[in-house]
Amino acid sequence: MKQLLSAFLFVCSLAACAESSHIYSQEISSSKYKIIKKDSNLQTIIKHPEMFTRTHEYPTQIVRIHGKLNNSTLNCDEVAKTIDDFFSKAIKHDLFYYNTLIICGYDPKTDYAISYNLQSYFDPLNDAAIDYLQTYLKEHNGKLLLGKTFFVENAEGVVISLNIHVGNKNAPSEQSMLLLRTDNSNHYFANNYQVMKELMADIKERYNSNDPELILPFLSKWFYPSAGMFYQRLLKLSNYTELLPERIFLMEQEPKIFSSALKFYFANYCSKYPNKHCL
């Protein structure tokens, strides 16, 4: 079966773009007879903070639908197109920050789709997007999508479980690293829009650097007050760091939490600096 659904991600995988980007997506484990489609505008959004012009609070929107496709004569390409036409194309890149994942299982004997899983979270970028979304929800919420009721839910908040790994790698493309230190912190935000405006903007400005006036205050702000002082020696011994923010959305309906399998992490390959180290 042609696997046409994996080329739509705007953020590189770790090995593919180690030299060109510090943002990468976690590989999604999947059985042999499944096709994965990823769709995100994270790279564009981070580069263009001026797109965040919303003046009203609005909850992050969540879609989490999965189901069996009994007696289906659709293949996975057609399943993905059905979802795109009903949902994905409506979430326009200039109106929303979005991350969408489609996983489609199929019967290898017939190539017919037998199951699908749609996971998405998205936020309006401006006030016009809120008005546009309200119209879309009135027209689509409660309708059937591939035999399941389509429903966009409001997230009540989002917890970011933030992990940092500091150590050494022989080459950027290597999966393993010599770990010197790891830490975790948790932060609550009202919505993912706030995450982007505060945490992700700070990651862009201060994380991908070996300037002590940038990276050390960043660590103290997002981990613990003395983190900058503690990591000063470790960063001088390291040539690689990675920052792993895990989004945990708090939901009103069961299941009470939602975490997408589509995850984005940040890496700093310090061999690009003159001293080849992270400080």
Q: Are 157 and 190 in contact (CB under 8 A)?
A: yes
pLDDT of amino acid 31? 73
| DSSP H/E element including 215 | helix 212-222
Report which of 169, 195, 190 is spatially closest to residue 270, judged by C-alpha positions: 169
Look at residue 33 in the predicted model and tell me its pLDDT: 87
Say what the pLDDT of residue 194 is. Answer: 97
> Are the CB atoms for 59 and 155 separated by under 8 Å?
yes
Residues of the chain whose pLDDT is less than 50?
1-21
Q: Please give the pLDDT value at position 225.
A: 97
Q: Coil, helix or strand for 126?
A: coil
pLDDT digits (tens, 9 = 90+) for 134-182: 999 999 999 999 999 999 999 999 999 999 999 999 987 788 899 999 9
d(CA 242, CA 54): 30
**What does the domain layout of the chain look like in residue ranges?**
23-155, 156-272
Dihedral angle, C-alpha 95, 101, 107, 111, nearest 10 °: 40
Q: What does the alpha-carbon distance between residue 22 and residue 37 come to, in Å, rounded to a whole number?
A: 22
pLDDT of residue 3: 41
Q: Do residues 70 and 107 make contact, with C-beta atoms less than 8 angstroms apart? A: no
The single-letter code of the amino acid at 248 is I
Q: Answer for the pair 204, 46: CB distance below 8 angstroms, yes or no.
A: yes
Q: pTM for the full model?
A: 0.89
